Amino acid sequence: MNKGTVFRPEGLKFMRRVLALCLATGMLTTAHGNAQEPPYFVTYSHDMEEPGNLEISVKGVQGSPKYGNPFISQTIELEYGTQGWWTTELYLAGQHTSNDSTIFTGWRLENRFRPLFREHFVNPVLYVEYENVNAADRSLLEVTGHDSISDFLITNAQGRSKTERSLELKLILSSNARGWNISENFISEKDLNESDPWEFGYALGISRPLALAASRKDCVFCRENFAVGAELYGGLGDLNGFGLRATSHYAGPTIGFNIPRGPTVTFSPNFGLNDNSVGVLYRFQVSYEFQQIFGSHSRGK
Amino acid sequence: MIRRVPMLVVLIVGTLAFGVADGAWLKNVPARDHQRTNPYQTQPDAVASGRRVFADHCAHCHGENAEGTKKRPPLRSLRVQQEATEGDLHWLLINGNMRKGMPSWSKLGDPQIWQVIAYVKSLHR
């Protein structure tokens, strides 16, 4: 591993191509999308995908771990509203590490279920995910157990040789009140290949649009099109050692911009809170919602 | 003709059942919510703002002019325009009717929800 290497632009070129494709797709379609969801990267709220809608997101994270090579990870996320109370998602992840290679790191299939059909002060959602990713995965969609900066020091060849098949369960608790969204996620994960114990993690998020009422006229830079917030997430050890010892944690502000009749763009710098964490992670996301893709979409015929 | 009778019965019962179930949510609205009035009703811009929110989030299911689509109900109906109060519609938008495919729109926040209601209620005039 080379400390202080210059980050090569191949990963960025790949990212730009994917983003351009995403934006072009968005511009060509007639069914516009404006997700208006909290601008979180790791935390889930109780907002489900509307039934029949398909949201395509490109999520990226860039980091430069101490003593390791800088990396950029890309995750393509396909989120479909199966029912009002059931959302299904497929993730495809890859990454580029400077002075190493660009590889596909695996996939995840996730389902979220809302057991209570009405809005409450706190709304629970049950999350079940099957992961098939290798140890070179850098998507950081969650932090669990004793995940730490040392995970980023292995080469892509080393990481690729070890595939992890794991089951992940989350309890999502979320509230919408006076324009604010407050969400808490409790994460547990089990590697199905090995006899490793259950690992735990958490994610907390709070966000609010800059304005709650809609403007009278169409406008791109209206305050209601922006949402700001903050996220805090990290590991909580495992069944053999629950707690904060030898875990990594991140926190940072987040901002989302819902472009009217276009994609939603979200950005967040996440700061590592201890020596086990990467100093700064830059997260970005472009998402676009295709409305009523397999459903009753008739555009008012 | 005899063969057609059971089919006719099924059709009639099915239509009645659908009709009853379609408006069943109205019976679930608590009295306190039923009586709520729209705080944006007197604001001159509420209808225009509500139209924009409606176009972004509601039109793809309920039609661009709220006339309904193949699988989703119109919002110009007697039920929405006369039977349901503003408070009833607010309760529906907050809670959704998830078994019937109507999601919760609590993420929009109260101001936008009331603006949409002002627009929808303006359609009967």
Domains of chain A (ranges; CATH) run 10-290 (2.40.160.40)
Nearest residue of A to residue B74, measured between CA atoms:
A300
Q: What per-residue confidence (pLDDT) applies to B20?
A: 38
Mean pLDDT of B59-65: 90
Enumerate the residues of chain B whose CB falls inside 8 A of the CB of residue A216. 45, 48-49, 52
Please say if the pLDDT value at position B29 is more than 90. Answer: yes
> Looking at residues B5-11, what average pLDDT do you find?
54
Phi first, then psi, for residue A245 (nearest 5°) are -65, 130
The burial class, CB within 10 Å (0-12 / 13-18 / 19+), for A86 is middle
* pLDDT grade for B116, boundaries at 50, 70 and 90: very high
The pLDDT assigned to B78 comes to 87
- Asked whether A95 and A141 are in contact (CB, 8 A), the reply is no
Domain boundaries in chain B?
A: 24-122
Compute the average pLDDT of residues B62-91: 90
pLDDT at B22 (0 to 100): 60
| DSSP E strand stretches across A192-240 | 199-209, 226-238
CA-CA distance, A182 to A121, in Å (whole number)?
Answer: 11
A105-109, A135-139, B28-32, B70-74: which range is least confident on average?
Answer: B70-74
pLDDT value at residue B3: 57
For residue A79, give every residue at least 6 positions away whose Cβ sits within 8 Å of its Cβ, in sequence order, or none.
A49, A54, A55, A56, A57, A87, A88, A89
* β pairing state of A180-191 and A249-258: unpaired
Give the chain A residue nearest B51 (alpha carbons). Answer: A216
Report how far residue A80's alpha carbon sits from residue A91's, in angstroms, rounded to the nearest whole number.
12
Residues 64-83 of A with CB under 8 A from B: 81, 83
Q: What is the pLDDT of residue B9?
A: 54
Give the mean model confidence (pLDDT) for residues B101-105: 92
Q: What is the rounded CA–CA span in Å between residue A247 and residue B15?
A: 59
CA–CA min distance A121, chain B (Å): 11
Which residues in chain A have Cβ-Cβ distances shorter than 8 Å to B60?
31, 291-292, 297, 299
Is the ipTM higher than 0.85? The answer is: no
- Using a CB-CB cut-off of 8 Å, the residues of chain B touching A213 are 40, 49, 111-112, 115
Q: Where are the alpha helices (DSSP H) in A75-191?
A: 156-160
Q: Do B112 and A32 touch (CB under 8 A)?
A: no
The pTM of this model reads 0.85
Among 2.60.40.10, 3.20.20.70, 1.10.760.10, 3.40.50.1000, what is the CATH number of B24-122?
1.10.760.10
- Considering only CB atoms, B61 lies closest to which of A34, A118, A292, namely A292
Give the residue ranges of chain A where pLDDT is below 70.
Answer: 1-35, 295-301
Among candidates A47, A178, A216 on the partner chain, residue whose Cβ is nearest the Cβ of B48: A216
